[in-house]
């Protein structure tokens, strides 16, 4: 990891350091665990694939040091979002990254069923999921979600209590002292009003609920708002946040799952309430993670104060250069480098990076990264080449990777 001050980060975010950018690890350059395992098999240092050294897809210290990522710090000790409390469950070598999705205390993970090919288990967020045994790392299939109706919601809601002691580090004062001594940018998850509902209810069922029982949708969103409000109030009393982090994942290849009108009605007022609270505490950088094509939602999010977007998936038609032309320096962009180009050859990779990174960084706030997690079919040497290409553009010395 390299030192990357919060002042430099915020100055980039405000568009005051055109041409400069961070090469951030956590939350920006992330890897599927099977990618790191494949790289180690091809000669990368074994520590890169050490599951114990990282939290799920968060970037481990070993990975950060190897690629010399600029440091940033997500407050994962506070259970305020998706990643806080993420663990890697290992069922006899078949691994699964178990997010908590705001649930605290978590459900007790347990295997419910097993056959020759697969395992069905209950995750920490109460989802019944299926994974394949043959794979070292799994994207699960969701079989059943914990919220099915008003009765199950009433029961589930008990795990969304902001006052539950375990949501915060046991020794709060010591934690505050530790965080306030951090020199790099500090971030905290503050929820999302679609992403969590999607995990609690299931996509298809949630889509029906928007028509069948919109009051229940509103009740769930309001619960998220109240929970995050209490957490933000408590944390910002003692800790200065540099940016906050929404996880929504509410778009697919050709556009948002729900209409902008529904977002305006159900979500926008809640974003505004939460963002006003965060802004009053001195933080005006609002990051949002949503896969898919989010073009139709960006104006609404900007209206709410959310101004920082990742991963800008090229396969879904996201074009960071077009976004810069449309929104100027008012939008902080991250990602948007087509990972499919990284997998071809160095010339394609170089073309992709050089066509986007200098222009984006010189015209406004930009933090480069591939347009989502790095997949296992990305060659290790291409990724190393990419890191040195970014360093070359930024004017840094190259890293002497052991290739």
Partner 1 sequence: MVCMDDVRLAVCEGRQDEVVELVRSALRDQVPADSILREGLIPGMQSLGDQFRDGNAFLPEILISARAMRAALAELRPHLAPGSTADQGTVVLGTVAGDLHDIGKSLVGMLLEGNGFKVIDLGVDVSAETFAVTARDQSADIVALSALLTTTTPQFSVVIKTLEETGLRDKVKVLIGGAPVSRALADEVGAEGFAEECVSAVDEAKRLLGGGAS
CA distances to 190, 199, 279, 312 from 241, rounded to whole Å, are 11, 27, 10, 24
Give Cβ neighbours of residue 35 (< 8 Å, ≥ 6 apart): 373, 374, 375, 376, 378
Q: Which of residues 259-278 bind partner 1 (CB under 8 A)?
A: 259, 262
Instruction: Considering only the stretches 128-136, 148-156, 222-230, 395-403, report the one whose residues sit in contact with partner 1 under the rule CB under 8 A.
Output: 128-136
Instruction: Considering only the stretches 43-51, 60-68, 199-207, 234-242, report the one whose residues sit in contact with partner 1 under the rule CB under 8 A.
Output: 199-207
Min CB(392)–partner 1 separation in Å? 27
Identified binder of partner 1 from the candidate list 343, 348, 363, 391, rule CB under 8 A: 343
Q: How far apart are CA 12 and CA 382, in angstroms?
A: 27
Phi-psi domain of 374 (left: phi exceeds 0; alpha: psi -120 through 50; beta: other): beta
Min CB(253)–partner 1 separation in Å? 5
Phi-psi domain of 283 (left: phi exceeds 0; alpha: psi -120 through 50; beta: other): beta
Q: How far apart are CA 377 and CA 38, in angstroms?
A: 9
Identified binder of partner 1 from the candidate list 207, 216, 302, 393, rule CB under 8 A: 207
- Whose Cβ is closer to partner 1: residue 207's or residue 272's? 207
Buried b (16+ CB within 10 A) or exposed e, 42-60: eebeeebbebeebbbbbbb
- Whose Cβ is closer to partner 1: residue 97's or residue 118's? 118
- Whose Cβ is closer to partner 1: residue 259's or residue 351's? 259
Residues in the chain: 403
- Are 90 and 131 within 8 A, CB to CB? no
140 binds partner 1 (CB under 8 A): yes
130 binds partner 1 (CB under 8 A): yes
Number of shown-chain residues binding partner 1 (CB under 8 A): 35
Instruction: Considering only the stretches 42-50, 137-145, 180-188, 272-280, report the one whose residues sit in contact with partner 1 under the rule CB under 8 A.
Output: 137-145
Min CB(50)–partner 1 separation in Å? 22
Q: Indicate the burial class of 365 (C-beta count within 10 angstroms; 0-12, 13-18, 19 or more).
A: buried
* Closest listed residue to residue 246, CA positions, set 301, 292, 318: 301
Identified binder of partner 1 from the candidate list 15, 45, 109, 255, rule CB under 8 A: 255
Neighbours of 62 (CB within 10 A): 17
Min CB(130)–partner 1 separation in Å? 7
377 binds partner 1 (CB under 8 A): yes
Identified binder of partner 1 from the candidate list 55, 84, 274, 316, rule CB under 8 A: 316
DSSP class of residue 68 equals: T
- Helices 172-180 and 214-238 meet at what angle, rounded to 10? 70
Q: Which of residues 323-342 bind partner 1 (CB under 8 A)?
A: 339-340
139 binds partner 1 (CB under 8 A): yes
Q: Which residues bind partner 1 (CB under 8 A)?
A: 117-118, 130-132, 134-135, 138-141, 203-204, 207-208, 210-211, 252-259, 262, 296, 315-316, 339-340, 343, 375-377
């Amino acid at each position: 990891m390299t030192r990357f001050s919060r002042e430099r980060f915020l100055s980039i975010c405000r568009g005051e350091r055109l041409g400069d950018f961070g090469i951030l690890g956590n939350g920006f350059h992330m890897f599927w665990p099977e990618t790191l395992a494949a790289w180690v098999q091809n000669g990368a240092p074994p520590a890169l694939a050490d599951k114990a050294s990282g939290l799920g897809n968060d970037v481990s210290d070993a990975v950060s040091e190897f690629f010399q990522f600029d440091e940033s710090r997500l407050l994962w000790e506070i259970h305020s979002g998706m990643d806080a409390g993420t663990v890697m469950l290992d069922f006899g070598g078949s691994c699964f990254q178990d997010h908590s999705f705001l649930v605290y205390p978590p459900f007790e993970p347990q295997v419910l069923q097993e056959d020759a090919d697969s395992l069905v288990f209950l995750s920490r967020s109460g989802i019944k999921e299926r994974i394949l045994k043959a794979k070292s790392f799994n994207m699960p299939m969701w079989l059943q979600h914990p919220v099915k109706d008003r009765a199950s919601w009433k029961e589930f809601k008990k795990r969304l209590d902001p006052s539950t002691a375990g949501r915060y580090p046991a020794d709060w004062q010591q934690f505050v002292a530790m965080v306030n001594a951090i020199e790099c940018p500090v971030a905290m998850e503050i929820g999302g009003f679609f992403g969590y509902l999607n995990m609690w209810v299931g996509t298809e069922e949630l889509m029906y609920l928007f028509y069948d029982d919109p009051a229940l949708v509103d009740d769930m969103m309001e619960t998220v708002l109240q929970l995050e409000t209490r957490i933000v109030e408590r944390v910002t009393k003692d800790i200065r946040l540099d940016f906050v982090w929404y996880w929504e994942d509410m778009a697919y290849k050709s556009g948002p799952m729900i209409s902008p009108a529904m977002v305006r009605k159900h979500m926008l007022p809640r974003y505004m309430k939460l963002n006003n609270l965060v802004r009053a505490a001195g933080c005006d950088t609002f990051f949002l993670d949503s896969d898919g094509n989010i073009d139709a939602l960006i104006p609404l999010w900007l209206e709410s104060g959310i101004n920082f977007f990742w991963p800008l998936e090229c396969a879904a038609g996201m074009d960071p250069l077009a976004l810069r032309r449309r929104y100027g320096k008012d939008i902080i962009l991250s990602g948007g480098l087509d990972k499919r180009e990284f997998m071809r050859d160095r010339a394609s990779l170089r073309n992709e990076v050089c066509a986007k990174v200098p222009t984006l960084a010189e015209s406004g706030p930009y933090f480069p990264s591939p347009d989502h997690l790095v997949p296992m079919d990305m060659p290790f040497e291409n990724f190393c080449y990419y890191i040195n290409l970014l360093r070359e553009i930024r004017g840094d010395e190259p890293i002497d990777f052991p290739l």
